[in-house]
């Protein structure tokens, strides 16, 4: 069975180009041979020595870094949702609420322990704690992950 294949340039830093530089058709068993003997031999100059990644055109074309970024973005959105809920539950006076954010802090107000806290927008001044105190950074992240998994 014959498939279309996308050819991507791989840069010296190891990252793959976003868009394919060309497309060719070949069977699954012979696509590498076909690329080396029929396609790559036509490349001249620096292109002949470059590295390439070949992906079947009917399969996902996302770069690995894009997949990781999407997962991190989803986690970040979930974390922001939980922190926003905790800020609402903290009953911060209205005069300060319009510019409140949240973050993980290690400061005098938290007795030099890690804590998720409501922070003043622009200055990041501590307003109030919205989580228990944690001795370790890892403990604070495990707690927020647990809060994310509890979905109300």
User: Do 118 and 127 touch, CB atoms closer than 8 A?
Assistant: yes
Q: According to the model, what pLDDT value does residue 46 have? A: 79
The span from the CA of 2 to the CA of 87, in Å, is 57
Three-state secondary-structure class, residue 43: coil
pLDDT value of residue 133: 96
Residue 141's pLDDT is: 92
Confidence of residue 152 (pLDDT cuts 50, 70, 90): low
Q: For position 92, what pLDDT does the model report? A: 82
Is pTM beyond 0.75 here?
no
Q: What ranges do the domains of the chain cover?
A: 2-56, 65-149
Label residue 41 by pLDDT band (50, 70, 90): confident
Question: Could you read off the pLDDT of 3-21 as tens digits, one per residue?
Answer: 999 999 998 888 888 899 9
Look over the chain and give the mean of its residue pLDDT values, rounded to a whole number. Answer: 87
What does the alpha-carbon distance between residue 89 and residue 95 come to, in Å, rounded to a whole number? 16
pLDDT band at 142 (very low <50, low <70, confident <90, very high): very high
For 13, 51, 106, 145, 152, the CA distances from 113, given in Å and listed in that order, are 39, 49, 5, 18, 27
Measured CA to CA, the distance from residue 54 to residue 62 in angstroms comes to: 13
pLDDT over threshold 70, residue 97: no
Task: For residue 96, name the pLDDT band (cuts at 50, 70, 90).
Answer: low
* Order of strands, sheet of 22-27, starting from the edge strand that comes earlier in the sequence: 22-27, 2-10, 51-56
Q: What local confidence, expressed as pLDDT, does residue 98 receive?
A: 64
Q: How would you class 100 by CB atoms within 10 Å of its CB: exposed for 0-12, middle for 13-18, buried for 19 or more?
A: middle
Query: With 80 as the cut, is the pLDDT of residue 65 above it?
Result: no
């Amino acid at each position: 069975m014959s498939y279309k294949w996308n050819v991507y340039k791989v840069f010296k830093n190891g990252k793959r180009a976003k868009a394919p530089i060309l497309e060719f058709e070949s069977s699954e068993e012979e696509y590498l041979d076909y690329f080396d003997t029929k396609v790559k031999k036509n490349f001249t100059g620096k292109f002949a020595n470059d590295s390439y990644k070949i992906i079947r055109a009917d399969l996902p074309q996302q770069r690995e870094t894009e997949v990781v970024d999407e997962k991190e973005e989803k986690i970040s959105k979930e974390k922001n949702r939980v922190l926003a809920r905790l800020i609402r539950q903290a009953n911060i006076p209205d005069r300060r609420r319009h510019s409140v954010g949240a973050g993980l802090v290690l400061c005098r107000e938290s007795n030099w322990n890690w804590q998720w806290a409501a922070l003043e927008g622009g200055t990041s001044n501590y307003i109030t704690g919205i989580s228990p105190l944690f001795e370790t950074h890892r403990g604070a992240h495990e707690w927020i992950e647990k809060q994310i998994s509890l979905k109300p």
